[in-house]
Structure 1
Amino acid sequence: MNRESALSDLRGADIVESDAEGCGAVNKEDFVTCHHCGDKRRTLDELKEHIFADHLPLSVGSRRRRGNGKLYKCKFCQKVLKSNRSLIQHTRNHTGERPFKCNVCDYSSVAKSTLKTHMYKHIGEKPFKCDLCPYRALDKSRLSKHMFRHTGEKPFKCPYCQYSASFKGTLRIHIRTHTGERPYKCQLCKYRTTQHSALKNHIRTHTGERPFKCEYCKCGFSCLGNLRNHTRIHTGDKPYKCNLCEYRSSDRSVLKKHIVIHTGEKPFKCDQCEYRTSRNSSLKVHARVHTGEKPFKCNLCEYRTAVKSHLKTHSFRHTGEKPLNCNLCEYRTSDRSVLKKHILVHTGERPFKCHICEYRSSRQSDLRVHLLRHTGEKFFECPQCDYKSTFRHSMKAHLLRHTGEKQFKCNICKYSTSTSACLTKHIRLHSGKSNL
Structure 2
Amino acid sequence: METVLSDSYCRLCADLKPVSVLTNMVINTEICREVKHKLTRLDLHVNFNTKLPKTVCSECINSLEHAYDFVKSIELAQEAFEDYDSSVFDDIKDEVSDDDSMDKSINDDLSIKTEDSIPNESEVDQELLVEYVPKSKAKEKNSKSKPEKRALQTKTTTLRKPVTSRQKNKPKISANVELDTWQDYNWLCAVCDKYFPSPSELRVHSMQFHYTCNAYRCFDCREPGMCMNSFVTHISRHRPVLTLMCYKCSQKFETVKELRAHKATHFDTKYICRGCNTTFPNEEELDDHMRTFYKDVEANASMVSENNSLTCVICRKSKKSRITLIQHLLIHTDRKRTHVCETCGNSFYHKIDLIQHQKIHIDERPYKCEICHYSFKMESNLKKHAINIHFRTKQITCKECGKRFRSAKDLAAHSAVHSDVKPYKCTFCEKDFRFNYLLQRHIRIHTGIKPYACAHCPLKFSNWPNFNKHSKTVHGVDNSKRKRTAKDLYALDPDTNEFIYPDQEKVNEWRKQILVDMGRGRPRKKL
TM-score scaled by structure 1?
0.35
TM-score w.r.t. the length of structure 2 is 0.30
Computing the radius of gyration from Cα coordinates, the structure with the larger value is 2
The structure with higher relative contact order (CA 8 Å, sep 6+) is: 2
